Structure 1
Amino acid sequence: MQWGSIITPEALNHMIAQNAVKCVKAALEGQAPELDGCRAGPNCMNQYGYYPLHRAAEFFSVDMIQLLIRHGASANLRTAGAEVIEGLLPLHVAVENTCMHKYLEDSLFPNHEHRDYSEADAHFIFKLIHLLCLPEMKIFLDSTRLIAKHTDNLLDELWNYIKDGKLAETAILLLAAQEQIRVGTSCKKIGNSKADGFQVIYECIINNSIKLQSEKGQNLMEKEELETKIKLHHTAMMLVHVISKAGEGLESYIRNHLEVSQCW
């Protein structure tokens, strides 16, 4: 369990996996007589290439996430190594694992990217938002919201999801992190604007759509792929608009839910 005076990352990882909040607190503080001065590092990578906060994000333990952050865990460390998908932030783990919830997997339209931009897209967006606002999704959004508060360059991560056509991931991050997005947050790739992040993202979508339209006319071989990206951009634009207008009310509604027990 320890190397000299350091509790191993694997031991800490096991405690987090068991959601043993009191044990993790004792390990981080290192003040229990039984530990003989040993303590765990909140930012030590384990043998699989990820960090304690990634593990807590995977299990959506709000108490564990709060504890780790309070003891100095960084939300800006990325996975690395052959045993894991590289470059993932804890935020990515929370958002993308939320997308694996059975409500989203079972209820959203398959092959959405191949549909025309029409009333069906509005139906998709409203259904997605409706599912995310169910009481069963509260713990997932609460975990994502907490991690997002401590993640740098948040708009960059949101923009990456939009560019990649990941509408469910975009909706989760927009809904969970809207407080930071509204006040403006610094970002590397799309400028260091302190304006309303919803407006910044909206303008990025418009500008990129114009760029894609111009490329569509020049490259007939990729025309279908470009049309798909343009349609997804239009749908993402609608999603940004809806949450920018109704998001605060939705967030208040979600926060008032009682916590629902999850079956893992």
Structure 2
Amino acid sequence: MIVLYEHPLSPYVQKVKIALREKSIPFELRRAGGRGPGVEQDDFLDGNPRAEVPFLLHEGLRLFDSTIQLDYLEDAFPDPPLMPPDPAARAQARSIEEVMDTHYEAVNWGLGELRYFRRADGRDAADLKAAARRQIAGFHAWLEGRLAPGAEWFCGPFGRADLSVVPFLNASAGFGFPPPEGSALIAWLKRANARPAVAQTVAEARAAVAEMANVHKAVEAGRFRRQYRDHRLEWMIKSGGLQVVLDGIGRDTIRFTPEID
């Protein structure tokens, strides 16, 4: 049995859950025992250098990073395939996933820092939201350009590219930035959300939103430190949030990737 450590709001977790459900692979969901390094149970930390979800366990194998996990699932459970057979289409699917994971995700993450963790207010928050709005519009245009005219899905049948996009677009929509009405991208999103594997995963995410109502209090009390790594840190700085980073370091309410002993 596959075990997946998760948080329902993580887009990376959602990618893996959609893949598992599309492939009809039985799995057990677990939540990590705490927030931040040093407080989770050993089973979650062992073999998980980022101390992040998703973390997948299967027959003694321990895998971190959603892309590595999706590659493993495709190799270990090849039917039905979620990667197209054509090498060019496979490369395109991987390119889309990379952009979503390391560029688009940071924008939604930054919006979460504002809404849930209350890192900034007033003009500072307005400027960061304006940057996010502009950047999301650019990503929407980029994605629209990768949907072939009249195509139902990215890169062929529903698969890796689609499940790598849908969690991020849903998150942006939740922050008030959906794809434009009447666009091919919004039509694609509606089709994707209607798939049972996606619909169940989305329902779990929406149910978890209520958990975020008071999460800023945990940050203020020092019980939770958000991870600012690579693309997220870059986004916050380049979008006008350098003071947010400095404040978080000063108050010890942010963290970076743990060192590997």
> What's the TM-score once normalised by structure 2's chain length?
0.30
TM-score, structure 1 length as denominator? 0.30
Structure with the higher fraction of residues in helix conformation = 1
Larger radius of gyration: 1
Question: Which structure's relative contact order is higher, taking Cα pairs within 8 Å and 6+ residues apart?
Answer: 2
